[in-house]
Amino acid sequence: MPTVCITKDQELQAVRDLATRLGEFSYLGPWLDEIACELERAIRGDMPPMLSIGEAQYRERMISERETELKIRWQKLDDCAREQLHAAARLQASAAAQRDAVTTMARSVGMQVTFRPTR
């Protein structure tokens, strides 16, 4: 296999391109974006990159991701509950309109109508 010589800029660009191709929903894409400055500093200083995610940083990231997931779930549940409340209000309004229409029709022909409240 032939040896390929590339510049520091080309190597850094290749890493940026890889992060972009992997995307934000991959494991490495966001990590490569996050360490880009540290990686560039090491390469420009002619040092081999010694990169790792520390345990505390890993836990912090995992907690943050779980918080985000929970917030999204909570928002979806809240949206669903609001929609159900709106649907119930629409049904109640429809039932009241139908009751009023029946009452009006019944009274127009001389009937006495009484509705009992339901629980």
Average pLDDT across each block of 10 residues of the chain; the chain has 119 residues. List them in order. Answer: 83 93 92 87 86 71 92 96 96 93 90 77
Entry pTM: 0.42
Q: pLDDT of 53-66, one tens digit each?
A: 666 677 788 899 99
Amino acid of residue 71? K
User: What backbone torsions phi and psi does residue 43 show, to the nearest 5 degrees?
Assistant: -65, -45
Q: Token pair for residue 39?
A: 């990686």
pLDDT at site 51: 60
pLDDT at site 54: 67
pLDDT at site 52: 63
Whose CA is closest to 31, among 47, 48, 16?
16
Helix axes 8-22, 28-44, angle to 10 degrees: 170
Whose CA is closest to 13, among 31, 34, 39?
39
pLDDT at site 55: 67
